[in-house]
Protein backbone atom coordinates (compact mmCIF):
# COMPACT_ATOMS: atom_id res chain seq x y z
CA UNK A 1 0.00 0.00 0.00
CA UNK A 2 1.34 3.44 -0.94
CA UNK A 3 0.73 6.88 0.51
CA UNK A 4 1.43 9.24 -2.40
CA UNK A 5 1.72 13.01 -2.01
CA UNK A 6 2.34 15.65 -4.65
CA UNK A 7 1.68 19.34 -4.92
CA UNK A 8 0.81 22.03 -7.36
CA UNK A 9 3.56 23.78 -9.29
CA UNK A 10 5.31 26.29 -7.03
CA UNK A 11 2.80 25.31 -4.34
CA UNK A 12 0.22 27.63 -5.84
CA UNK A 13 -3.00 27.36 -3.78
CA UNK A 14 -5.08 26.70 -6.89
CA UNK A 15 -7.14 23.60 -6.00
CA UNK A 16 -10.27 25.40 -4.84
CA UNK A 17 -12.50 23.33 -2.59
CA UNK A 18 -15.56 23.63 -4.83
CA UNK A 19 -14.06 21.44 -7.59
CA UNK A 20 -11.72 19.13 -5.66
CA UNK A 21 -14.26 16.30 -5.52
CA UNK A 22 -14.43 16.28 -9.33
CA UNK A 23 -10.63 16.02 -9.49
CA UNK A 24 -10.54 13.27 -6.88
CA UNK A 25 -13.15 11.24 -8.80
CA UNK A 26 -11.03 11.65 -11.91
CA UNK A 27 -7.95 10.37 -10.08
CA UNK A 28 -10.02 7.41 -8.87
CA UNK A 29 -10.96 6.61 -12.48
CA UNK A 30 -7.31 6.67 -13.57
CA UNK A 31 -6.39 4.36 -10.68
CA UNK A 32 -9.24 1.95 -11.53
CA UNK A 33 -8.10 1.84 -15.16
CA UNK A 34 -4.62 0.88 -13.92
CA UNK A 35 -6.15 -1.89 -11.72
CA UNK A 36 -5.14 -0.07 -8.54
CA UNK A 37 -7.32 -0.03 -5.44
CA UNK A 38 -7.98 3.41 -3.94
CA UNK A 39 -8.49 3.56 -0.18
CA UNK A 40 -8.64 7.32 0.27
CA UNK A 41 -7.90 10.53 -1.56
CA UNK A 42 -8.01 14.08 -0.25
CA UNK A 43 -6.09 17.29 -0.38
CA UNK A 44 -6.07 21.01 0.13
CA UNK A 45 -5.37 24.02 -2.07
CA UNK A 46 -1.76 23.11 -2.87
CA UNK A 47 -1.37 19.32 -2.63
CA UNK A 48 -3.04 15.93 -2.83
CA UNK A 49 -2.76 12.73 -0.77
CA UNK A 50 -3.61 9.33 -2.28
CA UNK A 51 -3.65 6.02 -0.41
CA UNK A 52 -3.73 3.10 -2.83
CA UNK A 53 -2.59 -0.38 -3.59
CA UNK A 54 -0.72 -0.48 -6.88
CA UNK A 55 -1.25 -3.37 -9.25
CA UNK A 56 1.97 -5.41 -9.69
CA UNK A 57 2.04 -4.65 -13.42
CA UNK A 58 2.24 -0.89 -12.75
CA UNK A 59 5.42 0.98 -11.86
CA UNK A 60 4.96 3.66 -9.21
CA UNK A 61 6.69 6.38 -11.24
CA UNK A 62 4.62 5.56 -14.32
CA UNK A 63 1.42 5.68 -12.29
CA UNK A 64 2.24 9.12 -10.89
CA UNK A 65 3.27 10.39 -14.32
CA UNK A 66 -0.05 9.17 -15.73
CA UNK A 67 -2.04 10.69 -12.84
CA UNK A 68 -0.36 14.06 -13.30
CA UNK A 69 -0.52 14.20 -17.09
CA UNK A 70 -4.11 13.01 -17.36
CA UNK A 71 -5.36 15.21 -14.53
CA UNK A 72 -3.58 18.30 -15.88
CA UNK A 73 -5.33 17.87 -19.22
CA UNK A 74 -8.65 17.19 -17.47
CA UNK A 75 -8.32 20.28 -15.24
CA UNK A 76 -7.57 22.49 -18.23
CA UNK A 77 -10.31 20.97 -20.41
CA UNK A 78 -12.98 21.32 -17.70
CA UNK A 79 -11.57 24.65 -16.41
CA UNK A 80 -11.81 23.29 -12.85
CA UNK A 81 -9.11 25.48 -11.30
CA UNK A 82 -8.39 28.74 -13.17
CA UNK A 83 -5.14 29.40 -11.24
CA UNK A 84 -3.78 25.83 -11.79
CA UNK A 85 -0.46 25.88 -13.70
CA UNK A 86 0.47 22.23 -13.35
CA UNK A 87 1.86 19.82 -10.80
CA UNK A 88 5.24 19.97 -9.10
CA UNK A 89 8.04 18.02 -10.78
CA UNK A 90 8.47 15.50 -7.98
CA UNK A 91 6.38 13.51 -5.57
CA UNK A 92 6.66 11.62 -2.31
CA UNK A 93 5.54 8.01 -1.96
CA UNK A 94 5.71 5.98 1.22
CA UNK A 95 5.03 2.26 1.42
CA UNK A 96 2.97 1.02 4.35
CA UNK A 97 1.76 -2.24 5.77
CA UNK A 98 -1.94 -2.94 5.37
CA UNK A 99 -2.30 -2.72 9.17
CA UNK A 100 -1.67 1.05 8.85
CA UNK A 101 -4.66 1.52 6.53
CA UNK A 102 -7.21 2.86 9.04
CA UNK A 103 -4.73 5.32 10.56
CA UNK A 104 -3.74 6.60 7.13
CA UNK A 105 -7.33 6.83 5.88
CA UNK A 106 -8.18 8.99 8.89
CA UNK A 107 -5.04 11.10 8.42
CA UNK A 108 -5.88 11.76 4.77
CA UNK A 109 -9.56 12.34 5.53
CA UNK A 110 -8.59 15.06 8.05
CA UNK A 111 -6.35 17.11 5.73
CA UNK A 112 -8.30 20.37 5.89
CA UNK A 113 -8.25 20.44 9.68
CA UNK A 114 -4.64 19.23 9.77
CA UNK A 115 -3.48 22.12 7.59
CA UNK A 116 -4.98 24.71 9.89
CA UNK A 117 -1.95 23.97 12.10
CA UNK A 118 0.73 22.50 9.82
CA UNK A 119 2.08 23.82 6.52
CA UNK A 120 2.66 21.57 3.52
CA UNK A 121 6.43 21.87 3.98
CA UNK A 122 6.18 20.94 7.67
CA UNK A 123 3.96 18.00 6.82
CA UNK A 124 6.30 16.69 4.12
CA UNK A 125 9.33 17.10 6.37
CA UNK A 126 7.56 15.16 9.15
CA UNK A 127 6.63 12.36 6.73
CA UNK A 128 10.21 12.10 5.48
CA UNK A 129 11.54 11.98 9.04
CA UNK A 130 8.91 9.41 10.08
CA UNK A 131 10.13 7.16 7.27
CA UNK A 132 13.79 7.92 8.06
CA UNK A 133 14.42 9.36 4.60
CA UNK A 134 17.35 11.75 4.35
CA UNK A 135 16.56 14.90 2.39
CA UNK A 136 17.96 18.24 1.39
CA UNK A 137 15.70 21.09 2.51
CA UNK A 138 16.36 22.93 -0.77
CA UNK A 139 14.19 20.34 -2.53
CA UNK A 140 11.22 20.81 -0.23
CA UNK A 141 10.24 24.09 -1.89
| CA pair distance 83, 80, nearest whole angstrom | 9
Structure confidence by residue, pLDDT tens digits, 25-76: 999 999 999 999 999 999 999 999 999 999 999 999 999 999 999 999 999 9
Q: What is the pLDDT of residue 140?
A: 64
* Mean pLDDT computed over 10-37: 97
Q: What is the pLDDT of residue 132?
A: 85
Crossing angle between the packed helical segments 60-78 and 17-33, to the nearest 10 degrees: 140
Handedness of CA 74, 77, 83, 87 (dihedral sign): positive
Q: What is the pLDDT of residue 65?
A: 97
Q: What is the pLDDT of residue 124?
A: 84
What is the CATH topology of the domain spanning 2-140?
Alpha-Beta Plaits (3.30.70)
The pTM (predicted TM-score) of the whole model is 0.90
CA nearest neighbour of 37 among 54, 16, 20, 15: 54
Structure confidence by residue, pLDDT tens digits, 77-132: 999 999 999 999 999 999 999 999 999 999 999 998 888 888 878 888 888 888 88
Rg over CA atoms, the chain: 14
Query: Is 67 within 8 Å of 27 (Cβ atoms)?
Result: yes
Query: Is 60 within 8 Å of 93 (Cβ atoms)?
Result: yes
Amino acid sequence: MYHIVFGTKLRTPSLVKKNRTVLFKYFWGVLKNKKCHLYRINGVEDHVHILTHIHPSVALSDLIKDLKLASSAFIKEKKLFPAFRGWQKGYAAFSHHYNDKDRLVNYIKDQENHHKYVTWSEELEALLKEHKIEFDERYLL
